[in-house]
Amino acid sequence: MASCVRAELLTAGSHSPTIRDGGSLAVTPDGEKFILFGGDPSESSFTPVVTAVTENPSTPGEWMWKALPAAEEGPSSRPPMMSFASAVVTEVGEIDDQQQQGLYLIVFGGVGRVSMGGRRSYRALAFDLNQRHWRRFFFPHGGPPPRHNSGLCISPLNDSEVLLFGGISDPEKLRRSDLWSLDLSKADWLYHSIPSQCDSIGGAVWRKVKVGSCSTALRPSPRDKFAMTASPGSIYLFGVEWDTRLSDELWRLDCSTYEWEHLDTKGSPPPPCRGADGSSWLWSIGGSQLLLLPEDAASLYILDLNNHYWCRVLMSGEVCRTPSQLEGLWAISPYSTAKRQGLILFDNSVASISIEDDDGPVKEGPSREKRQAMVVKDDVMIRDAEEHVMKSKKEVLVLAEDMAALGADRGRLIAELESMRQQAELDRRSIREARSRIQTLEEDVRNAKNLLKDSEGREADLRARVARRGKLDDSLRNLCGMIADERWNEAKIVATEAQKLLKLSCGANVPMGTR
């Protein structure tokens, strides 16, 4: 099992392409050249950007970027700028007197730039990397619907077969789960004498693959933005994005029967992720392992295909940053299966990576003295490990005692909380009763205040009547004296006043006699 991924920076020379969104990276069959296609770079362009990176034969360890502009062609054969297309590189033809072996970049799907007329999808195209001509495939019997963010790879059982899976169809914007096979065995790659016929490639045939033996056969759900790679006899899919949700599903396609299998994995699986635009990639290592870099993850992951066991691995070397810090990561492809090495492109830089096993590379065995020193070192390491285990056991016992004490404290706290809850219920009941009594007393006080006001009013009225009665008595005595003295005028005045007082007291008009 691989335990470490070592990454070393390589000299990439000048004229490196800019970071782009939606680009595709494909490797030539010999693994010595990488083809970067499409995307949405910062510079303005009206045709797809095709760039090659290859090792400088005169300076080992130095890699060169080289733009591959298309030769002069008719406007019908030159596609516009596109992004999120799927691409592979394949060798075609035979080396004989009639036809020379060629190298083609096969492109399917993609979307055009919004600034150049909106989002449009395109079907299959081919770019002759030797002649630098764009050519369109001609399919008289049709093919898969246009789409982007799909998976495209060469069949591990047939170099003349290209397999297409999933993606988002246009213009419906629907995720798909269909599997298509492009048969290139009978494709006509020759350039004819008539220039107009050189723009198209005939003979290639699309075929929709029937998955399994029935319509209800197990298959991945419709998806896009997944990582896809070919391994001997199989194709593997990892990850998917549904709306805003990510998944960690792993599927295997048996290319001999075209049957899907959902793999249940063990170990330390990677987090749910998606694989599109180089943000996540999947790499087959010698047919026995898969190497995965999830998007925004802090580690690399390797899956053992024999027991489906995931494990995390470290990245060392000059590029020792975590993978999530490699901004602008595009893709990785193997250029030496035997040496288990590959190439990684990020931040306009090139780095070589190598896979190191637990046992390390095959070397000459150590000497006898070195083996003895290794044994002594192993004994010391074993003793240190035993001491560490004993210390860990003691810490576990102390932790268990602390947990038991915490359990007792928890029970006591629960009992106290229950008692407090019951007391609080009694207090709430007493408060309700006290509030009821207070309301009754307040009503009694209001009634007493009203009675007091009535009593005070009656008392004031009685006092006023007593005062008027006293004045009336005084007036009557004076009136009697005046009558006896025959002071009639004064008696008349006093009688008038007495009549007023009597009227106030009795409310009656009492006439007074005159002399």
Q: Digits of tens for pLDDT over the chain (515 positions)? A: 555 677 777 765 556 666 667 778 888 887 778 888 877 654 444 456 677 777 777 776 677 778 888 876 555 556 777 788 889 999 886 644 455 578 899 999 888 765 555 455 667 888 998 888 888 888 888 899 888 888 999 999 998 999 999 988 877 788 898 999 999 988 888 876 655 556 778 889 999 998 866 666 788 888 888 888 888 899 999 887 666 677 788 999 999 999 999 999 988 888 777 654 444 467 777 677 887 776 555 567 888 888 889 888 777 766 655 555 555 545 555 555 555 666 776 666 677 777 766 554 433 334 445 545 655 666 777 888 888 888 888 889 899 989 999 999 999 999 999 999 999 999 999 999 999 999 999 999 999 999 999 888 888 888 888 888 888 888 888 888 888 888 888 888 888 888 887 777 665 444 544 43
515 occurs within a structural domain: no
Residue 251 has what pLDDT? 92
53 and 157 both lie in a single domain: yes
356 and 372 both lie in a single domain: no
107 and 185 both lie in a single domain: yes
Nearest CA-CA partner of 268 in 224, 314, 237, 228: 314
Q: Which residues contact 17 (CB under 8 A, 6 or more apart)?
A: 36, 41, 49, 51, 65, 67, 348
Of the candidates 363, 386, 418, which is a domain's last residue?
A: 363
514 occurs within a structural domain: no
154 and 266 both lie in a single domain: no
Counting the structural domains of the chain, the total is 3
Task: Report the greatest alpha carbon distance in the chain.
Answer: 177
CB count, 10 Å around CB of 249?
A: 17
168 and 39 both lie in a single domain: yes
412 occurs within a structural domain: yes
Cα separation, 109 vs 87, in Å, equals 9
192 occurs within a structural domain: yes
Block residue for tokens 């298509």: 180
40 and 156 both lie in a single domain: yes
Backbone angles phi, psi at 501, to 5 degrees: -65, -40
Strands 289-293 and 300-304: antiparallel
513 occurs within a structural domain: no
345 and 238 both lie in a single domain: yes
213 and 269 both lie in a single domain: no
31 and 151 both lie in a single domain: yes
CB count, 10 Å around CB of 219?
A: 19
Tell me the residue range of the domain where 165 lies.
22-176+178-218
268 occurs within a structural domain: yes
296 occurs within a structural domain: yes
Residue 369 has what pLDDT? 54
3 occurs within a structural domain: yes
Residue 279 has what pLDDT? 42
Cα separation, 226 vs 244, in Å, equals 14
CB burial string 476-499: b at 16+ within 10 A, e below: eebbeebbeeebeeebeebbeebb
Of the candidates 363, 378, 408, which is a domain's last residue?
A: 363
Residue 227 has what pLDDT? 84
CA distances in angstroms from 431 to 18, 265, 410, 442, listed in the order given: 77, 63, 31, 16
389 and 446 both lie in a single domain: yes
Nearest CA-CA partner of 151 in 86, 75, 62: 86
423 and 461 both lie in a single domain: yes
Take residue 328 and report the two structure tokens written for it: 């602008």
Of the candidates 305, 340, 363, which is a domain's last residue?
A: 363
406 and 494 both lie in a single domain: yes
